[in-house]
């Protein structure tokens, strides 16, 4: 092994990226980690994906701040791999490159009308209200009375809940200001969540579901008929699916409630799938089919469409049916799974052979599953493989590292955002929020973010 530090590039600055850095820093190996991020701001979904009314989850960023204080850490913000620097260039100057870029693309429904104005991937709505600079000009029309959310995972619950928050509930969050204004002035009165399978198969976690029942300005509506379990679902609950049991119990409690007449209503529906989004030039309704649940050849509970259909008038559809990673030029990609091709985090080529020095962690490694904490174990496993390969002399020896990357980028007139510049953004946002009792008021456009960096320098 070389006496100089191990040079590692981590592409992506969300939880998986920071947890990867933390694990290698905690080892007995001298290491320098350069974190490369397309945005001027770090933290990934902690900043841009976690619901603004969940400040306790966002508090994990304090651990990331400590990691960034390591003397071997450098942040290269406003740098996009594939645009500003290629994978091949990174692989030529770093001993190891770890991709932690998440799953940024939405899976499609594949139904008629999916691209009508008013039909959106839920992740774009999330990015819009969280202040992602790529999504601030999107024309979300919240004037209609009914919004439909397709899916029943935590992202679906998040967007349904955000639409139902009162001005007081929104006013203490870091939701961007124009989203707060739009939601407060929205005409939305009914938010209908559609689940393809039954309540026992819902993917949301119990705390997320419980929050819906605690909303100050929205009643939760559940039809007791939707909670009658088929034999296979009932049997599954008797196994070890504690979360599913708690969810079903909570849904039964909601079904037994008498609505209080709050200004908005969140309807949780199950065993229905969209078959078409209808409208003349914009979303006007969604057609759904009733499903029945059957056990397939592998013992899984699957939804099978019946002949029973229904049309639900609405003006907004938010689609949350899964996510997939996007390929990066020069990095082997598994198109079927929507992940970088890998074996437990070691990237492999089309023949299954390990690509020396290239790794992945997080959703781009395993697919979109788990919560923020899941990425800690996942990233640690990848980082440990990297260290194992280093100790075994299996990594290519490269020269240059961060100094060479900086030289390349400055030669291309890339406007680098160092960690100190991000700290200036962070401090400014917190100062803006303090007079209003908010954790921060975000800078939400590229012009605002880069402009503040320039002025602070």
What are the pLDDT digits (tens) for 293-317? Answer: 888 878 788 889 999 999 999 999 9
Average pLDDT over residues 2-7: 83
What is the set of domains in the chain, with CATH numbers? Answer: 6-104+324-417 (3.40.50.720), 108-321 (3.50.50.60)
Q: Which residues contact 395 (CB under 8 A, 6 or more apart)?
A: 6, 95, 96, 356, 357, 386, 389
pLDDT of residue 35: 98
pLDDT digits (tens, 9 = 90+) for 254-304: 999 999 999 999 999 999 999 999 999 999 999 999 999 888 878 788 889
Q: What is the pLDDT of residue 1?
A: 47
- pLDDT category at 241 given cuts 50, 70, 90 is low
Give the predicted TM-score (pTM) of the model: 0.93
What's the chain's average pLDDT? Answer: 94
**Confidence check: pLDDT of 388 > 90:** yes
What pLDDT score does 50 carry?
A: 86
**Does the pLDDT value for residue 28 go beyond 60?**
yes
Q: What is the pLDDT of residue 364?
A: 96
Higher-confidence residue of 1 and 190: namely 190
Asked whether residue 2 carries a pLDDT value surpassing 80, the answer given is: no
pLDDT tens for each residue of 195-215: 999 998 898 989 999 999 999
Query: How much of the chain exceeds pLDDT 90, in percent?
Result: 82
| Rounded Cα distance, 213 and 176, in Å | 25
The pLDDT value recorded for residue 19 is 97
């Amino acid at each position: 092994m070389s006496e100089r530090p191990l040079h590692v590039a981590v592409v992506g600055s969300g939880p998986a990226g920071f947890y990867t850095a933390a694990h290698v820093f905690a080892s007995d190996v001298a290491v320098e980690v350069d974190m490369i991020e397309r945005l001027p701001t770090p933290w990934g979904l902690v900043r841009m994906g976690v619901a603004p009314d969940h400040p306790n989850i966002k508090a994990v960023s304090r651990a990331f701040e400590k990691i960034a204080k390591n003397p071997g850490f450098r942040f290269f913000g406003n740098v996009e791999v594939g645009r500003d620097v290629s994978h091949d260039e990174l692989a030529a100057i770093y001993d190891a490159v770890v991709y932690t870029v998440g799953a940024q693309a939405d899976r499609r429904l594949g139904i008629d009308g999916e691209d009508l104005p008013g039909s959106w991937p839920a992740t774009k709505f999330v990015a819009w209200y969280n202040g992602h600079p790529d999504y601030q000009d999107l024309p979300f029309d919240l004037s209609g009375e009914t919004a439909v959310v397709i899916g029943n995972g935590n992202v679906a619950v998040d967007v349904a809940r955000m639409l139902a928050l009162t001005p007081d509930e929104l006013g203490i969050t870091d939701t961007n200001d124009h989203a707060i204004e739009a939601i407060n002035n929205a005409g939305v009165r009914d938010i209908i969540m559609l689940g393809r399978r039954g309540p026992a198969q819902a993917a949301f976690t119990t705390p997320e579901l419980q929050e819906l029942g605690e909303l100050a300005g929205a009643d939760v509506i559940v039809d007791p008929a939707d909670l009658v379990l088929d034999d296979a679902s009932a049997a599954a609950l008797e196994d070890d699916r504690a979360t599913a049991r708690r969810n079903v119990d909570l849904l039964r409690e909601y079904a037994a409630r008498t609505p209080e007449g709050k200004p908005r209503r969140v309807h949780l529906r199950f065993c229905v799938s969209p078959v078409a989004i209808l409208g003349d030039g914009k979303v006007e309704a969604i057609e759904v089919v009733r499903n029945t649940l059957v056990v397939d050849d592998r013992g899984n509970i699957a939804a099978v469409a019946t002949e029973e259909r229904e049309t639900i008038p609405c003006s907004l559809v938010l689609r949350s049916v899964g996510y997939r990673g996007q390929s990066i030029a020069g990095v082997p990609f598994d198109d079927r799974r929507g992940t970088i091709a890998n074996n437990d985090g070691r990237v492999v080529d089309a023949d299954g052979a390990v690509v020396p020095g290239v790794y992945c962690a997080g959703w781009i490694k395993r697919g979109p599953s788990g919560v923020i904490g899941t990425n800690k174990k996942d990233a640690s496993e990848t980082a440990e493989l990297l260290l194992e390969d280093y100790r075994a002399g299996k990594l290519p020896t490269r020269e240059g590292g961060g100094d060479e990357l900086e030289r390349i980028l400055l030669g291309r007139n890339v406007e680098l955002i160092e960690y100190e510049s991000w700290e200036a953004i962070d401090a400014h946002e917190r100062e803006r929020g303090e007079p209003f009792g908010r954790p921060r008021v975000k800078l939400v456009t590229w012009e605002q973010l880069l402009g503040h960096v320039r002025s602070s320098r």
